[in-house]
Amino acid sequence: MGRLDERVALITGAGSGIGRESATLFAAEGAAVVCVDLDEGSAVATASSIEQAGGRAIAVRADVSSADDAAAMVQAAQDTYGALHIMFNNAGIMHSDDGNAQDTSEAIWDLTMNVNAKGVFLGCKFGIPAIRNSGGGSVINTASFVAHLGAATPQVAYTASKGAVLALTRELAVVHASEGVRVNALCPGPLRTELLMKFLDTDEKKHRRLVHVPMGRFGLAEEMAKSALFLASDDSSYITGSEFLVDGGITAAYVTPE
């Protein structure tokens, strides 16, 4: 028996990183998975890999910042599998031109907020009614440790967007708790993913981030997937409105560099 047997999960950003690892793990635990990504090819690759392993999955291309696309991806889950029980709003961007308030352009701010904050809002807007109609379930929103601390390497748009995700998560958790819909935020620490490694593109930047992590290493996408599985499953049945920090200890030991 899998921990997600007879569940339907929709995961955005499923083409790579945390999303792909989570899609693979959720499917292995019995879920039918809707693999959503802006890059249709990567979504198809994830879904195909799941099917080759004996699981159930479909691929859907969607821009999470588009209301029409967000509605369509949820509808695809319902049309294909008849329900939706788990909504993992994971898609996000970290732009290389995101810096301090003075240097970050309005265009980069708007793009980042549209994907990282508005994208989560739209996923909840259309996903929560579907989960409620399916008898309840779990919403997981990917935030970040930087929403708690601020980043040593400036990225104001990203940090602000993840702070918005935390606030949104808290409010939706309260609003929907009585309806059997749990809403939690997964807050990863620094990860060895393509997204972060592209942003921390020098040894100096990597060192500035790692020096604050007590475990002394970047986290792995598969470690975040296992934490997301916990939040998706009945193992977390009394947890809602939480900020689930999976960060190697960085928020317990952060010291502003001199």
- The residues annotated with a catalytic role in the active site are 158
Backbone angles phi, psi at 251, to 5 degrees: -75, -15
Longest dimension (CA), the chain: 55
Integer CA distances (angstroms), 121 to 70, 71, 164, 206, in order: 10, 12, 10, 31
User: Amino acid identity of 71?
Assistant: A
Sequence-distant (≥ 6) Cβ neighbours of residue 52 within 8 angstroms:
none
User: Amino acid identity of 81?
Assistant: Y
CA angle (188 as vertex; 111, 105 as ends), nearest 5: 20
Residue-wise DSSP of 65-123: T-HHHHHHHHHHHHHHHS---EEEE------TT--STTTS-HHHHHHHHIIIIIHHHHH
User: Amino acid identity of 36?
Assistant: V
Instruction: Name the 3-class secondary structure at 26.
Output: helix
Q: Are 36 and 44 in contact (CB under 8 A)?
A: no
